[in-house]
Amino acid sequence: MSKERNDETVLRRHHDMGGLPAGPVGQSEHDYAPWEKRVDAILRLLADPKRGVITVDELRRGIEDLGPGAYDEMSYYERWIASVTNNLLEKGVITVDELGRRMAEIGKAWPAGVGEEKKP
């Protein structure tokens, strides 16, 4: 039996979990944090047919490619912005160096983060 399970582990990608045990589903309503709304807006602007920088299919592919560890630990919109970032790097819209320097600048300006924004 263990061989069968190993085969499935190889063939089935981490995000494709329909029918697997995954614990209870939270059903309470929640507000979106301001940064989550910004992530949503960024994706919509980039995917707008006028710009066509990325497709929602590329967004999904990028989320799947985060791998099991990051996929499980990140919140929904953290996965989105990680995928958007990787897509923009692939396409040469931003560079790794540019992004790293800007993140360091912002980290200095906002050492404690941006207030009470929280994960959903």
Partner 1 sequence: MSARFDIGETVKVRAAFPPGHVRTPFFVRGKTGRVTAVLGPYRNPEELAYGRPGEPALPLYRVIFETAELWDDYRGAAQDTTVVDIYENWLEAP
Report d(CA 83, CA 38) in Å as an integer: 15
Contact assessment for residue 46 and residue 84, using Cβ atoms and an 8 Å cutoff: yes
Please identify, using beta-carbon distances, which residue of 22 and 109 lies nearer to partner 1: 22
Task: Note the helical H segments in 12-118.
Answer: 34-47, 56-64, 68-73, 76-90, 96-109
Please identify, using beta-carbon distances, which residue of 45 and 104 lies nearer to partner 1: 45
Count other C-beta atoms under 10 Å from residue 24's C-beta. 5
CB of 57 to partner 1, least distance (A): 4
CB of 113 to partner 1, least distance (A): 32
Please identify, using beta-carbon distances, which residue of 23 and 111 lies nearer to partner 1: 23
CB of 21 to partner 1, least distance (A): 11
Report d(CA 108, CA 43) in Å as an integer: 26
Residues near partner 1 (CB under 8 A): 11-13, 16, 18-19, 54-55, 57-58, 60-61, 64, 90-91
- Write phi, then psi, for 33 (nearest 5 degrees): -70, 155
Please identify, using beta-carbon distances, which residue of 4 and 116 lies nearer to partner 1: 4
